């Protein structure tokens, strides 16, 4: 068992078969992170004493300058013994429900589109999560964990659902879609993530999703619809894909109390060629949101998720529309 010491915060914690950031979050500490897969660089720390090794070789979240300065990624660095590190802990990274590792058994599968599938897992050891959070799945035969956002809400924490988009040639999604059968197990570690539903925010809600971003936005909408604190708040849900066969989600929202009254679904496709009979919007998610909500955008609590290009375009549009950054909630997908 390794001991991690952070002198500036005057504390130490244990880290056993774990990474330095995940062990910290498990201990209730506010260790900064975002993607948890070595890509964003938000979990960087400086190693003062001791030795660590990265689980993911050459992680994109580190550059040459970081390496020269003895900086490592908290989400990937596993200690080889006791370590002393320098990192600024922040309260907003403290997790309400501490992440735990458990085994999850695949209990159900449903196809939502030609390449998005819902996977429903039963957890051996239940744990709670907030709508919008994600888990790390360790899929048999796949190198490294992958982050997937939950699509359901839970009071018991024994069932976690994920809506996952197949990536052509992708290691984890090929295994999940083509190999994993009902009754098979994966490793699950969670919950993680800061883009969770703010029940204390007294604003209407705007969910913007594209492709793989469906899952956390469905969870946010489900959580918001069921929240007594958000009763009466409207929920606007914009979902984008390339063509009509990519579009889904309406049948899920239709089951929510208030659908058609305070909950509205706005589908959009970006490649209308050949889409005869399409009655939804045509354009990119950020353009459709700007067209529909325009000057009112700054009045919303905005949640968004999807491929990196979509998230960047949405962010740019929201900043231009002067939506305060405190009202924006997203985890970058990699």
Ligand X SMILES: Cc1cc2nc3c(=O)[nH]c(=O)nc-3n(C[C@H](O)[C@H](O)[C@H](O)COP(=O)(O)OP(=O)(O)OC[C@H]3O[C@@H](n4cnc5c(N)ncnc54)[C@H](O)[C@@H]3O)c2cc1C
* Residue 259 contact partner, candidates ligand X, ligand FES, none, CB within 5 to 8 A by sort of partner: none
Asked if 152 interacts with ligand FES (CB under 6 A), we say no
Asked if 143 interacts with ligand X (CB under 6 A), we say yes
Asked if 170 interacts with ligand X (CB under 6 A), we say yes
- Least distance from ligand FES to the Cβ atom of residue 310, Å: 19
From the list 6, 52, 61, 222, which residue makes contact with ligand FES (rule: CB under 6 A)? Answer: 61
Q: Which is nearer to ligand FES, 216 or 240 (CB)?
A: 216
Overall size of the chain counted in residues: 334
Q: Which is nearer to ligand FES, 39 or 78 (CB)?
A: 39
Number of residues that bind ligand X (CB under 6 A): 26
CA distance linking residue 148 with residue 164, whole number of Å = 7
Asked if 219 interacts with ligand X (CB under 6 A), we say no
From the list 44, 56, 117, 222, which residue makes contact with ligand X (rule: CB under 6 A)? Answer: 56
Asked if 62 interacts with ligand X (CB under 6 A), we say no
Asked if 307 interacts with ligand X (CB under 6 A), we say no
Structural element, H or E, at residue 24: helix 20-26
| Binding site residues, ligand X, CB under 6 A | 35, 37-39, 56, 134, 143-149, 164-165, 167, 170-173, 212, 215-216, 331, 333-334
């Amino acid at each position: 068992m390794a001991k991690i010491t952070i002198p500036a915060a005057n504390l130490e914690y244990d880290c056993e078969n774990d990474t330095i950031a995940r062990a910290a979050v498990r201990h209730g500490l506010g260790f900064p992170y975002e993607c948890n897969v070595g890509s964003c660089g938000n979990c960087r720390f400086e190693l003062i004493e001791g030795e660590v090794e990265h689980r993911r070789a050459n992680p994109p979240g580190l550059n040459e300058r970081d390496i020269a300065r003895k900086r490592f990624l908290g989400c990937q660095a596993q200690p080889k013994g006791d370590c002393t590190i320098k990192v600024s802990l922040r309260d907003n990274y403290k997790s309400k429900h501490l992440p735990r590792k458990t085994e999850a058994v695949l209990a159900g599968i449903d196809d939502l589109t030609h390449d998005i599938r819902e996977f429903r897992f039963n957890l051996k050891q239940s744990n709670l999560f907030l709508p919008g959070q994600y888990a790390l799945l360790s899929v048999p035969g796949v190198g490294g964990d992958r982050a997937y956002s939950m699509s359901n809400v839970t009071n018991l924490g024994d069932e976690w659902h994920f809506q996952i988009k197949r990536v052509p040639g992708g290691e984890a999604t090929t295994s999940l879609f083509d190999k994993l059968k009902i009754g098979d197990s994966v490793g699950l570690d969670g919950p993680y993530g800061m883009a969770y539903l703010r029940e204390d925010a007294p604003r209407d809600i705007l969910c913007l999703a594209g492709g793989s971003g469906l899952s956390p936005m469905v969870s946010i909408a489900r959580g918001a619809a069921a929240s007594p604190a958000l009763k009466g708040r409207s929920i606007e849900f914009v979902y984008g894909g390339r063509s009509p066969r990519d579009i889904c989600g309406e049948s899920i929202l239709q089951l929510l109390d208030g659908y058609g009254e305070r909950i509205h679904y706005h589908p959009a496709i970006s490649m209308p060629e050949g889409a005869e009979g399409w009655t939804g919007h045509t354009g990119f998610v950020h353009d459709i949101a700007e067209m529909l909500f325009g000057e009112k955008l700054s009045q919303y609590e905005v949640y968004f998720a999807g491929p990196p290009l979509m998230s960047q375009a949405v962010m740019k549009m929201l900043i231009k529309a002067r939506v305060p950054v405190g009202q924006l909630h997203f985890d970058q997908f990699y």
